[in-house]
Every structure is written in C-alpha cells, then in structure tokens.
Amino acid sequence: MKPFVVLIFFLCVLFSGCASAPKEKIGPISGKVYDCKKPSDAAEYEKECKTDKKNKCVAKLPGLSGPNKRLIDEGRIAIGMTKEEVRCSYGEPVQANRSETRGGTFEQWIYGSTETGAVYLYFENGVLLSSHDG
C-alpha cells in the first residue's frame, strides 16, 4: 500500500505548482527558496501556497467573525457561514447547482466524488443551510 501512497504524492506534486515550473520556487509567505526536486521541499512549498491562498481569500472578507476565521484556518465549515467563507475553507466545489424561487436562491455545492465520498452543501440566499456526506 505504501508505494501507492508515494505514487499519489508524486502525481499530486507533478500536477501542482512546484513541479510545473522551474526546479526552484520562492515561498509566497516565507520568501524561502524551495528545491522542487526534493519531495519534502515540494510538499512544504505546496502547503505554504495553500496557506497564502487561504490568507488572501480571508483578507477579502471584511467583518469575518473570530469563530469562522478559526474554522477557515482549520479547513472546516459550520452552518450559517456565507458562500465566500465556505469557498475560503474548502475551495471551489466540483459542481454547483442553483435554483431560483420566489422564496430566494438555493444552491447545492458538491465536493469530492461518489467514489471517494462526496460532500453536499446546501445554501439558501448565500448562507450555508445544511450539509451531508454522500
């Protein structure tokens, strides 16, 4: 099983930022030079980029409450969060379905796949109303 995990890691690195450019990259937060040929450096660089992206997303949310900021930092969500807060925490959904009614706008966001265990989020007028695993 371990070779499979290693293969998945290298495929992720290959199709992500560090491997898709020059062999060295500079961390957007630390300014550290990462050697992308080293798996440990590549993984650290990707983690720093993910943190930087999350920080930039949060900076666009004026009035973000302390509890919701903490949830976003931890990559979690809670009922009552806005679509923007969920997007900062989880990223872009794989699929989004939207319907308009007299009562408002309803959306279903899907993360993951049915093979790996999808997560379904439901929004009413831009606020997270419910979620469930598929």
Which alpha helices (DSSP H) does the chain contain, by range?
A: 2-14, 39-59, 66-73, 83-90
Long-range (24+ apart) CB contacts under 8 A made by 36-45 are 39/9, 39/10, 39/13, 42/13, 42/18, 43/9, 43/13, 45/17, 45/18
Picking from 31, 8, 33, the residue whose alpha carbon sits closest to that of residue 23 is 33
pTM: 0.72
Which domain does 16 fall in, by range? 1-59
pLDDT on residue 89: 94
**How do the pLDDT tens digits run along the chain, 134 residues long?**
344 433 344 444 444 566 555 688 898 888 889 988 889 888 999 988 888 998 899 999 988 888 999 999 999 999 999 999 999 999 999 999 999 999 899 999 999 987 888 999 999 999 999 999 87
Distance CA 13, CA 1 (A): 19
118 lies in the same domain as 91? yes
Question: Are 12 and 66 members of one domain?
Answer: no
Boundary residue ending a domain (11, 37, 59): 59
* Gyration radius (Cα) of the chain, Å: 18
Residue 39 shares a structural domain with residue 77: no
- State whether 72 and 126 are in the same domain: yes
Based on the domain organization, do 43 and 74 belong to the same domain?
no
